[in-house]
Amino acid sequence: MSERATSGYTMFDRAAPQQATAALLLRVPEGGPRSLTAWIALNFVVLFVYSIAGLVVVFFGIGPAKVSPIYPPSGIAAAAVFILGPRILPAIFIGQFCNGFPLLELPQTTLPIYVLTNSGTGLGAAAEAMTAAILLRTLAVNWHPFDRALHVVIFLLGSCLGAAAVGGTIGTLSLWATGFIPDGEFGTTLVTFILADAAGIAVFGALIVAWYREPRVDRSIVISVALILAGTAIIAGLEAWLRYPIDYLYLPLLLYAGIQAGPRGVTLAAAAITIAVVHATVAGTGQFVGTTPNESFLLLQVFMAVITFTGLLLAAVRGQQLAADAALIAHNLMLEQRVAERTAEVAEKNRQLEEKQARIDDDLKTAQILQASILPTDFSAYTGTAIAASMRPALEVSGDFYDVFPLDGGRLGLAIADVSGKGVAAAFFMAVTRTMLRSEALTGRAPAECVAHVNQTLCCENPVDMFVTALYAELDAGSGAVNFVNAGHCEPIVLDGNGNARLIKRSGNPPLGVIPKRAFVEGNFVLDPGEMLFLYTDGVTEAPNRAGELFKIERLLEITRQFARRSPQELMLSVIDNVERFSAGTVQADDITCLVVRRDLPA
């Protein structure tokens, strides 16, 4: 569609309805000529076209007033005002004044009467065109009627019939007042006059506006125009040859024009069909030949009104459908674009998250390696004992730890602990606790003092309020004496060579990092040669199965009894294997840590 079709004429396209005042209607149209000379030249062009079109009255006019079935100048005048504005009204007045020349043939015509009569008809033509423009602009808020079906109704009833009633009434009264219309023919002439002007605006006014609105010519419109004109000529020729009324064949042609070529096709088809049927009726053929010329004209005018209304309505509905389809396509494209943009954004966010996750995974892998590296795995240097240990984290890193280290006097330091929570924070807290506990133990303090110092430090330097259950023991490999402090940890198990198992009860000590300045109670027992000390975290006894049942201490005691005569390694692996089979089908809920120490028999 051309820019003219979308922007158009300022007076009739952009101003709000409430601004359609007389001052606005007299404004120079946007894009129109600005100089007085240009406007005068444009008025001469419109005057020439208007006068040439007015020759239709010479061929088809009836009665002394030479009223025709359709008056093309009325359509030219309305279209000129639609497009160019009120400054073209002088051309319309003068053109209509000149078009009254058939009155000069009548014997009663004098120069004063001629001037008076045609001044009236000229004033009526100008008023008609201005009324058509004002009604269309005010009611349809547009300068053309092709966008909506309602605009078509407004155009036909207001700009065509309503405006024609104004111009026809003024023109008929002018002719009647000067004696050119007898009293007995006043009503018939008035109706014919109004309908002829209305038909002229509907057919030729719409034709001019439609092609001005969209002047671009392409291969499709050329083909459509050729088919419309050829179809009209064929139907008109057949009707003249057969002498049989086949005007109903114009309807498919009109429908084709409306669907295929839009307003331009419809208005062209309506004009071509109008010319064809008027010519056929004047020639005495077709279904609009009546008993009198007035009757024939009335039938013609009704037919022209029907085809024009049908065609314009079809074009408007089709235009609305195409506009809706275009809007839907545009909306879908916008949605697709937004989806594509959002998809790209999500993909970019995912890429960034994957990069961050990869860095986190690398960091966790490094932390896992570092954590594993600080836990002892080679216990061959500790003579007089056999030791096995394992720590299996629930996540990448663990909050559990165990430790084995030599002390003065042939003693062996043993530790196992479980930090509250899991993951990175628990692993960091574990490393701090292990370091402090080993450091305190290496000073030579008793287990109770070591644990008390670690507890005090954790209470004072613990901004995240984490705590640790821990068991620290010192084993004299020579005598088997074990001094230990159990700070809220799981009760250790002692196994003898006969398969008996006993729990070493707690002494009521709280976990580390909970109560500052707390004194811890120390316990002791003797680990006889061949006996094993089994230390573990609650990840063993509190491992759940799919039914939500916990592993519990009873199962652990049963397994340790069965493997009391085996090596520490075999006992530890058996416990871990039973826990895993018990929890099969569930996610590991907690870190699993075991430390097994056997006092060997003297060599």
pLDDT digits over 249-279, tens only? 888 888 888 888 888 888 898 888 888 888 7
What SS3 class is residue 593? strand
Among 213, 240, 259, give the residue marking a domain's end: 213
Give Cβ neighbours of residue 28 (< 8 Å, ≥ 6 apart): 34, 85, 87
Tell whether the model's pLDDT for residue 472 goes beyond 70: yes
Proportion of the chain in helix, strand, coil states, percent, rounded to 5: 60, 10, 30
Q: Is 81 exposed, middle or buried (0-12, 13-18, 19+ CB in 10 A)?
A: buried
Q: How confident is the model at residue 553 (pLDDT cuts 50, 70, 90)?
A: very high
Average pLDDT (60-71) is 60
Strands (E), 497-550: 501-503, 523-526, 532-536
Q: CA–CA separation, 299 vs 301, rounded Å?
A: 5
Tell whether the model's pLDDT for residue 227 goes beyond 80: yes
Which pLDDT score, from 0 to 100, does residue 439 have?
Answer: 92
Q: CA–CA separation, 560 vs 548, rounded Å?
A: 23
Which pLDDT score, from 0 to 100, does residue 574 have?
Answer: 94
Residue 230 covered by a domain: no
Whole-number average pLDDT of the chain: 84
Q: How confident is the model at residue 404 (pLDDT cuts 50, 70, 90)?
A: very high
Residue 317 covered by a domain: no
Among 213, 247, 280, give the residue marking a domain's end: 213
Residue 287 covered by a domain: no
Residue 132 covered by a domain: yes
Residue 294 covered by a domain: no
Average pLDDT (243-251) is 82
What SS3 class is residue 504? coil
Region of poorest pLDDT, from 51-60, 197-206, 309-318, 495-504: 51-60
Give Cβ neighbours of residue 161 (< 8 Å, ≥ 6 apart): 194, 198
Q: Number of folded domains in the chain? A: 2
Q: How confident is the model at residue 300 (pLDDT cuts 50, 70, 90)?
A: confident
Residue 351 covered by a domain: no
Among 181, 213, 245, give the residue marking a domain's end: 213
pTM of the model: 0.57
Q: Is the separation of the CB atoms in 94 and 122 below 8 Å?
A: yes
Sheet of strand 385-392: strand arrangement = 385-392, 592-599, 532-536, 493-495, 501-503
Tell whether the model's pLDDT for residue 418 goes beyond 50: yes
Tell whether the model's pLDDT for residue 352 goes beyond 70: yes
CA R_g for the chain: 54
Which pLDDT score, from 0 to 100, does residue 444 have?
Answer: 87
Structure-derived torsion over alpha carbons of residues 437, 441, 446, 448, reported in degrees to the nearest 10: 0
Which pLDDT score, from 0 to 100, does residue 67 have?
Answer: 55
CATH label of the domain that carries residue 531: 3.60.40.10
Can you give the residue range of the structural domain that contains 581?
Answer: 378-599
Closest CA to 454 of 377, 401, 410, 490: 401
- Tokens representing 359 are 């860095």
Residue 247 identity (one-letter amino acid): D
Task: State the Cα angle at 112 between 107 and 118, rounded to 5°.
Answer: 85
CATH label of the domain that carries residue 52: 1.10.1760
Phi first, then psi: give them for residue 440, nearest 5 degrees: -65, -40
Q: Is the separation of the CB atoms in 391 and 591 below 8 Å?
A: yes
Which pLDDT score, from 0 to 100, does residue 89 have?
Answer: 92
Residue 199 covered by a domain: yes
Which pLDDT score, from 0 to 100, does residue 18 have?
Answer: 41
Which pLDDT score, from 0 to 100, does residue 377 have?
Answer: 87
What percent of the chain shows pLDDT beyond 70? 90
Average pLDDT (580-589) is 89
Residue 540 covered by a domain: yes
pLDDT in tens, 68-100: 678 889 999 999 998 888 889 999 999 888 887
Tell whether the model's pLDDT for residue 11 goes beyond 70: no
